[in-house]
Structure 1
Amino acid sequence: MLRPGEITRPAASFSPIPANSLTAGPAGKTIDPVLPAASRAPSSRGDGPLQEVRVTKRDRWVRFAAALLVGAVTAATAGRVEAAGFSIFEQGSRATGMGGAFVAVANDGSAMFYNPAGLAKQAKGFNVMTGMTLIIPDAEMTGLAPYPGPSYSASQEPMVFFPPNLYVTMPLSECVVLGLGTWFPYGLTTAWENQDQWAGRYISQRGELRNFTVGLQAAWQIADWIGIGGGPELRITDVKLQRNVPLFNPYTNRVVDVAHTDIQSEGMEYDIGYGVGIMLTPVEGLNIGASYHSRHEADYTGRAYFYQFSTGYADLDALVASRIPVSPNASGAFVPVPVKTAIQYPAMTQLGASYTFAEKFTLSFAANYTEWDYFKETVLAFEKTNGIQVPTNVIAHDYENAWAFRVGGLLKVSDHFDLQLGWVYDQTPQPDKSVGPLLPDANRTGYTIGFSMPLFWGIKADLSYMALFFHERTTTTNKDNFNGTYDTFAHLIGGNLRASF
């Protein structure tokens, strides 16, 4: 689908009807074009019958990793969110336990996201790391004057997202390591309760953006004090949007819903980017790390369907059908409207330093800078269908570049147990005028805890938890004149399994 968006209206209008809605006048019953909103702007294994077959630890893990890779691709059809804007920063449980301050640590498979140079510091041999993060958000909004008004409130539907990750590394030589992995750097799902009654249904009822990456990277430990890494990344994405279309009914002097719009991309969009990193160890115990993941633009081809609702007035219904390629049409056929759009995914830079005291305690600091100003606008271009042209819609986002600051610690409590703690402050890139039902973003403060311990067969487990507090966000200048205060909180529960052979 095409990313959730906004509908612009004249600033003087305080009606809930977007400027791009249908309007009908008693005299002449004229009608303006309708424009859908755009985006702006996630196993179990049976062993079969008993057989005399010897299954090695490595065999088990290779099968398990393959199953998880299939699961990861399948999970790309599930919604996901979190991190400033619509990015996802939680790509490994140990990293999450340290508040994401991992660019100068990067000593497990998630280095492919945090700092590819860290792959060279992996345990010798064949390494597999896999898991996921459960994201459980809770969001509410309270309206403000003039619309929807201070007496109005709404909540998002209860949702649980589970973006998975999988990383496999193997040495090519004493100082070169190859890695293959998949992770989810971006994602968005917003869905409001009572979608057919909620006041923002003409802006967005449900929006989804799904983006996962498959990376192939290599790291080279040039010397004891310097390592580099990087490689190409295949970015795979799709988008969806649902909303209703309003009409001012001149017979009742009320706004009514005349159609439900369903827009989605056809299949997945594939683009190529890259990630690179460097790790310096100027003195024993001190690491300095930096990494960069490139931006990319995804061009989507999709279809929009306009499912008509009856107004109870035959002439109004006929007027709507003459201006929108509605489904079903007079002959009962469903009419797809071809549509094209593009979404810009920003580049991200991570910088950090860590120091390990007496091989027992590691303190890490990191900052990441996301170039959100690349995400300026979304253009929806509709093809003429059945002689009806739905006008092109341009939705401005005007995001701004943003920083996140992170502090993390790792304590080796014993030879078998590590404890992680962390803190993060994440700036929102979203200006007040863009805060709305599709993505009510805000600055965030997160507190994290995690631990690592051995299990069996040489497998180690990492678990983490983040309490993510969104700062209360109020907009009185929303471009759709849909003003309100948004309160959001999220639980993030991460789990990973690691094994070396």
Structure 2
Amino acid sequence: MKKTMIKSSLSLAVTLASTQLFASGFALNEQSISGMGTGFAGRSSSVDDASIVYGNPAGMSRLKRQQVTVGVAAIDAKTDISDASGSRAGTNKGDMVPFTAVPMGFYVNPVDDHWAFGLGVYAPYGLITDYESSFQGQNFGSKSIVKVVTFQPTISYAFNDKVSIGFGPTINRISGALESTLNVSGLTLPATGRPSGDGRIQVKGDDVGYGFNAGILVQATDSTSLGLTYHSKVTYKLDGHTEVRTGAGVPPQILGSGRYDAKLSLDTPESVDFSITQKLDDAWKVYAGATWTRWSRLQDITVRNSGVTRAGGVAAPALVGTITEEQNWHDTWAYAVGTSYQLNKQWVLRTGLTFDQSPTNNTDRSPRIPTGDRTIFSVGAGYSPTDDITIDVAYSYLDEETVKVNRTNALGQRYSSKYDNSANGFGLGLTYRF
């Protein structure tokens, strides 16, 4: 049996994309509830609260009071699967993304007129997908859980009232688990005949990687500010294990039942965010922004398995070795425009529109990453009952273009369908100044 026969079931990092997310690829945008209200159009140029630690660390020097910002974004996704066909029978309900919450927290302390210190804890990447047990395309992925949590200590320095810079190293922990099913019914294999049934494959891994965020903020005029933020790539070398379990009717040697040490190298991409905030008058502001992300770093996924635990007397199961899956992602651009209106001292209203490219392609797209280009409409509001407290709320609606999945593995098994994805996002944040 060739090792490539199960390669699509073992690639952990392929699980790092989902229709539940509000940014391209497997990135999350949910690091600011105030920014969510304008579609993140002014993410690097507008300083509203302590979440600027992520948006542009240079902006911390514009905050004149010590403050804490905390928040949570909840994501409710919907997927319609149609025109499905494949080698195995099954269902295509499409409800594979559970209701998901993404928390965040930031702190900023202005030390003096020039220096400021900040901390951030947030999730830059992540997903949960879980297809029904009878999913027709489960040979190409059934369940995925990935979490990335980032801790970012940050400093900023203001040269004067016009120009400030900021820098923050990031400490990032990634963990993930993948489950897939491999159906071997009807295969004719040497020494085993024609087995029937499924085998289940699970991959788990984790690692800590390091990167940095850096930014510059320029007050070009009294009413115009320009921001530029760079988020570095982060390299992970995940250590974990691959576990293979065979069902009834599948001899252990078919899949190489056992537990194996697994290693996977993965780079999350660097990105550059540029935005402009323009104050029109005492009430109105408009925002525009663009973000470039280097998703072309993800050309393939390679899992290396070793350390065989013998099962059923099998000394060299088929899973041992290097397994590669092509991805061939491309770089992406996201564009956003937004506006805010200061209704009175207590209330500010926000809205925004975002266009976000998908890094996937029609050839390599799979049920794990059934995503296309996105349009996102956002509204939000901020309420300040006192000078010390602001409560932010936001809502976003995401609509994706209809995309096709057409996959065939080395066993000749296939699955094809159309995916129509949409999602609702809800955000709630609180800023306290002291």
Name the TM-score, length of structure 2 as normaliser.
Answer: 0.89
Offset, 1:85: 0.8
Unaligned stretches of 5+ in structure 2? Answer: none
Are 2:101 and 1:171 equivalent residues in the alignment?
no
- Paired position in structure 2 for 1:262: 202
The letter of the residue matching 1:350 is D
Which structure is larger by alpha-carbon Rg, 1 or 2?
A: 1
| Counterpart contact for 1:156–1:192, Cα < 8 Å | yes
Match of 1:352 among 272, 275, 280: 275
- Paired position in structure 1 for 2:285: 362
- Paired position in structure 2 for 1:156: 95
> SS of the counterpart of 1:113?
helix
1:197-239 Cα offsets, whole Å, 9 max, x none, are 2111111110122112110111111111111111101111111
CA–CA separation in structure 2 for the residues paired with 1:283 and 1:455 = 30
- Paired position in structure 2 for 1:452: 382
Offset, 1:240: 1.0
| Counterpart contact for 1:81–1:189, Cα < 8 Å | no
- Paired position in structure 2 for 1:13: none
Are 2:168 and 1:220 equivalent residues in the alignment?
no
CA–CA separation in structure 2 for the residues paired with 1:84 and 1:160 = 19
The range that moved more, 177-186 or 101-110, is 101-110
Unaligned stretches of 5+ in structure 1? Answer: 1-8, 10-17, 22-33, 43-78, 312-316, 327-334
> SS of the counterpart of 1:163?
strand
> SS of the counterpart of 2:58?
helix
> SS of the counterpart of 2:404?
strand
CA–CA separation in structure 1 for the residues paired with 2:213 and 2:187 = 57
> SS of the counterpart of 1:440?
coil
Match of 1:322 among 253, 257, 280: 253
Match of 1:108 among 42, 49, 57: 49
CA–CA separation in structure 1 for the residues paired with 2:97 and 2:370 = 16
The letter of the residue matching 1:191 is D
Q: Aligned in 2, Cα 1:257/1:85: closer, same or farther, shift over 3 Å?
A: farther
Match of 2:392 among 443, 446, 462: 462
| Counterpart contact for 1:432–1:478, Cα < 8 Å | no
The letter of the residue matching 2:425 is L
The range that moved more, 467-476 or 343-352, is 467-476
Are 2:331 and 1:388 equivalent residues in the alignment?
no
CA–CA separation in structure 1 for the residues paired with 2:173 and 2:187 = 46
> SS of the counterpart of 1:223?
coil
Are 2:13 and 1:83 equivalent residues in the alignment?
no
- Paired position in structure 1 for 2:77: 137
- Paired position in structure 1 for 2:144: 207
Are 2:175 and 1:235 equivalent residues in the alignment?
no
> SS of the counterpart of 2:316?
coil
1:40-80 Cα offsets, whole Å, 9 max, x none, are 439xxxxxxxxxxxxxxxxxxxxxxxxxxxxxxxxxxxx97
CA–CA separation in structure 2 for the residues paired with 1:375 and 1:484 = 24
Offset, 1:459: 2.0
1:89-132 Cα offsets, whole Å, 9 max, x none, are 1211110000111221133212122111111111x232000011
CA–CA separation in structure 2 for the residues paired with 1:478 and 1:442 = 20
Are 2:217 and 1:279 equivalent residues in the alignment?
yes
The letter of the residue matching 2:62 is K
Offset, 1:269: 1.3
After TM superposition, which residue ranges in structure 1, 4 or more long, deviate above 6 angstroms?
477-480
Match of 2:346 among 397, 413, 416: 416
CA–CA separation in structure 2 for the residues paired with 1:245 and 1:469 = 32
- Paired position in structure 2 for 1:120: 61
Offset, 1:35: 7.2
CA–CA separation in structure 1 for the residues paired with 2:302 and 2:351 = 43
> SS of the counterpart of 1:128?
strand
> SS of the counterpart of 1:249?
coil
Offset, 1:475: 3.9
CA–CA separation in structure 1 for the residues paired with 2:55 and 2:88 = 42
Q: Aligned in 2, Cα 1:173/1:262: closer, same or farther, shift over 3 Å?
A: same
CA–CA separation in structure 2 for the residues paired with 1:345 and 1:125 = 34
Offset, 1:142: 1.8
**As a proportion of its length, which structure holds more strand?**
2
Q: Aligned in 2, Cα 1:478/1:488: closer, same or farther, shift over 3 Å?
A: farther
Offset, 1:37: 2.7
- Paired position in structure 2 for 1:497: 430
CA–CA separation in structure 1 for the residues paired with 2:247 and 2:416 = 27
Offset, 1:255: 8.1
Match of 2:241 among 296, 303, 310: 303
> SS of the counterpart of 2:209?
strand
- Paired position in structure 2 for 1:314: none
CA–CA separation in structure 1 for the residues paired with 2:222 and 2:288 = 17
Are 2:5 and 1:20 equivalent residues in the alignment?
yes
Q: Aligned in 2, Cα 1:148/1:413: closer, same or farther, shift over 3 Å?
A: farther
Offset, 1:249: 3.4
> SS of the counterpart of 1:202?
helix
- Paired position in structure 1 for 2:298: 375
> SS of the counterpart of 2:248?
coil
| Counterpart contact for 1:432–1:477, Cα < 8 Å | no
Q: Aligned in 2, Cα 1:418/1:470: closer, same or farther, shift over 3 Å?
A: same
Q: Aligned in 2, Cα 1:260/1:477: closer, same or farther, shift over 3 Å?
A: closer
1:348-396 Cα offsets, whole Å, 9 max, x none, are 1001111101221110000000000011111111114122242321011
- Paired position in structure 2 for 1:293: 231
- Say how many residue pairs are matched: 415
| Counterpart contact for 2:60–2:110, Cα < 8 Å | no
| Counterpart contact for 1:243–1:261, Cα < 8 Å | yes
CA–CA separation in structure 1 for the residues paired with 2:97 and 2:232 = 33
The letter of the residue matching 2:242 is A
| Counterpart contact for 1:278–1:290, Cα < 8 Å | yes
| Counterpart contact for 2:12–2:204, Cα < 8 Å | no
